[in-house]
Structure 1
Amino acid sequence: MWFASGLSALWLVACAFVSTASAKQYHADPNVRSIQLRTHTLNQPYLDSDMQSRWFDFGGDTIIRTDSYIRLTSDRPSQTGWLFSRVPLTATNWEIEVEFKISGKNQLYGDGFAFWLTKSRAQEGPVFGSQDEFEGLGVFFDTYKNNRPGVVFPYVMAMVGDGQTSYDKDTDGKNQEFAGCSARGLRHATVPTKFRLTYFQDKQLKLELQYKNADDWTVCFDSDEPPSLPQVAYLGFSAETGELSDNHDIISIQARNLYASSTPSDSKKTTPGSQKGRKYDKKKKKGSWTWFFFKIIFFMLLCGGGYVGFTAYRAKQRSHRF
């Protein structure tokens, strides 16, 4: 019985270790770990057996091909489509990586698509297919130039909405821009097009793009004074076409919760995502984890042994009574 109890205790510890091991090292900083947010991650085939998604809703002209893409708009005029999470994103620090595709058969094309992290969800409107005067963060992948001299399109820009300010489509949001960059070649790229948005509360908002070469990430913007986002914010996407059109496809969404494993004094030495100025003793960290799990194993075995001994003692007492 002691041996079986010991094995059970070891099994519980092993399960705890596997659960902890699911936290992976963040690609940009060894002092930051990441855990996948399944509630905001979406991959093929996108839908379950009931032809619905457990964590996302979609509507408008959105079409889902379970083996290929979620098409927010097809290459047709006057279309609007959206995709929004059902539950809010509650992580304080997070990273969202999205593979998307913008394509079409016409030489003139538009209008683009948007990424949202907003207080409201799934409301159609005039801003890339979603509502105006939103509260939260919008990142616009604008492929059609209205009136913005000196700027090369496609243009990617972030806007922080306060719930009252409108997006000025006539000037492509020039006065509402928080940060942005030109991304020539984003449409019809020869490699999978992706964006990676990283947010550390009060520390960093960073947008990276992949469209030139595979695994070649271009920093679009990197702000060390990020905006304050709503505590309850839904993740979403939307797109629209007017007289000009394009296919706007979402291929996959990978969402991760980020948390720092360094001490507060270490975190002040540099901004998240940078290894400069940090001392990282892998051997020491590995040893601390080993000692931590050793203590758990010892504690579980001790509890298991005590329980078995107590059970045997009670059984012996009952036998003496008779």
Structure 2
Amino acid sequence: MRISSLVSWSLAAVSAWAADSNEDYKSIALRTHSLSQPYLDSDMQSRWYDFGGDTIIRTDHYIRLTADRPSQTGWIFSRVPLTATNWQIEVEFKIHGKNTLFGDGFAMWLTKERGQQGPVFGSVDKFEGLGIFFDTYRNNRPGVAFPFVMAMVGDGKTTYDKGSDGKANELAGCSARGIRGAGVPTMFRLTYFQDKSLKLELQYKTEGEWVHCFETTEPPTLPPAAYLGFSAETGELSDNHDIISVAVSSLYEPQSGDKATPGNRASKSSHRLGSTKAKKSGSWLWFFTKIFLVILAVGGGYFGYTAWRANKRSHRF
């Protein structure tokens, strides 16, 4: 082995270890809240979700909350609540239709209520929890490009400001022109760290490229047990609102000798993201220890290689 090859290998190892040291958390997939084809079991029912309204499930393609027809409302809600402290929800969806004018949009919910039809993107008003709205039709909100994506935290008493497209209720949001009828799979990824942040990313411009929509510095307080759901509605204008897949994960900070329990509402504060100073110091100490060991390996390899070359030369005479 040449010294240059050994050095290259060592540098690659250091880079890999450095990347690994930046992983502050791990994830556990939650089957109870995830959806993928064929969506239904052999009895044509979903074990983990209920659905209603005008929702149609085509097992080889999509869950269609509304078809491209006027005055439709559809929903799908989890049967068990999401109780993870830190979580990530990644959803592939599709908004499309044949009309030049279209509406109204769809929503993702994490609420105390479940499976109730209503006037807010197909679900109930005065909800308690979190709503993420993908609004494709402008009612009365000048200066904002549509489609518009926004988050609202409901207290169970406040009415959604439908006339102004939620302007009075907005926690955070962004314009997402091109999200309807995009040429790549459209997705959103919502990540929540209790007491730390709520972040939304979108994929609709280029496959594999996530566009930052928003990130709150003061995350909302959500119900300790909230049902995950999706709903959509059409009025005089319409669109197909499809859910293709849902992947939900519980996020946790790995601890030595500690086993994570998916769906646990983190009775242990050590499972919250945001490392303590002691842990950060330990991580850096371990990182530099690894570098030191690599240097020792390189040095040992070099001296061993030198000795081998000297010994080989001596055998020639």
Which TM-score band applies after superposition, normalised by the shorter structure? 0.7 to 0.9
CA distance in 2, matches of 1:268, 1:284: 20
Instruction: Map residues 75-224 of structure 1 onto 2, 5 A cutoff.
Output: 75-224=68-217
Contact 1:101/1:251 (CA < 8 Å) preserved in 2? yes
Does the C-alpha gap of structure 1 residues 182 and 124 become closer, same or farther in structure 2, counting only changes over 3 Å? same
Matched position secondary structure for 2:252: strand
Q: 1:71 and 1:55 mapped to 2: Cα distance?
A: 17
Identical aligned residues as a percent = 71
Q: Is the 8 A contact 2:25 2:273 kept in 1?
A: no
Relative to the length of structure 2, the TM-score reads 0.76
Could you report, residue by residue, the CA deviation over 1:213-271 in whole angstroms, capped at 9, with x for unpaired residues? 011001100112100000110000000000000000000000000001378897257xx
Secondary structure in 2 matching 1:207: strand
Query: Which residue is 1:41 aligned to?
Result: 34
The residue number in structure 2 matching 1:312 is none
Matched residue, 2:52: 59
1: CA distance, partners of 2:273 / 2:169? 36
CA distance in 1, matches of 2:274, 2:193: 15
Contact (CA 8 Å) 2:252, 2:273: kept in 1 or not?
Answer: no
Q: Deviations over 1:287-315 (max 9, x none)?
A: xxxxxxxxxxxxxxxxxxxxxxxxxxxxx
Q: What is the one-letter code of the residue matched to 2:99?
A: N
Say if 1:103 and 1:260 are closer, same or farther in 2 by CA, change over 3 A.
same
**Any residues of structure 2 matched to 1:277-288 within 5 Å, and which?**
279=284, 281=286
**CA–CA distance in structure 2, aligned partners of residues 34 and 161 of structure 1:** 28
User: C-alpha displacement at 1:27, in angstroms?
Assistant: 11
Instruction: Give the gaps of 5 or more residues in structure 1.
Output: 1-25, 270-274, 286-322
Q: Quick check: 1:189–1:211 contact (8 Å CA) kept in 2?
A: yes
Q: What letter matches 1:218 in structure 2?
A: V
When normalised by structure 1's length, the TM-score is 0.75
Residue 168 of structure 2 aligns to a residue whose secondary structure is: helix
Check conservation: 1:73, 1:240, Cα contact below 8 A. yes
- Judge conservation of contact 1:74–1:248 (CA < 8 Å) in 2: yes
Partners of 2:21 and 2:139 lie apart in 1 by 37
How much has 1:284 moved relative to structure 2? 7.4
Q: Deviations over 1:74-109 (max 9, x none)?
A: 000000000000000010000000000000000000
Tell me how far apart the structure 1 counterparts of residues 64 and 122 of structure 2 sit (CA, whole Å). Answer: 13
SS of aligned partner of 1:267? coil
1:32 aligns with 2:25: yes
Structure 2 CA distance for partners of 1:242 and 1:266, relative to 1, 3 Å = closer
Contact 2:88/2:190, CA 8 A, preserved across alignment: yes
Contact 1:31 1:280 in 2 (8 A): no
Partner of 1:73: 66
- Moved beyond 6 Å, runs of 4+: 262-266, 282-285
- Please identify, of 45-54 and 259-268, the stretch whose mean Cα deviation from structure 2 is larger: 259-268
Which among 233, 250, 267 is matched to residue 240 of structure 1? 233
Secondary structure of the structure 1 residue equivalent to 2:251:
strand
Judge conservation of contact 1:158–1:178 (CA < 8 Å) in 2: yes
Q: In the superposition, relative to structure 1, how do residues 120 and 201 fare at CA in structure 2: closer, same or farther (>3 Å)?
A: same
**1:92 aligned partner, one-letter code:** T
How far residue 168 of structure 1 moved from its aligned partner, in angstroms, is 1.0
> What SS is found at the alignment partner of 1:39?
helix
Q: CA–CA distance in 2 between the matches of 1:178 and 1:284? A: 44
Find the aligned partners of 1:118 and 1:197 in 2 and give their Cα distance.
Answer: 15
User: Offset at 1:155?
Assistant: 0.1
Cross-structure match for 1:229: 222
Distance in 2 (CA, whole Å) between partners of 1:114 and 1:56 is: 16
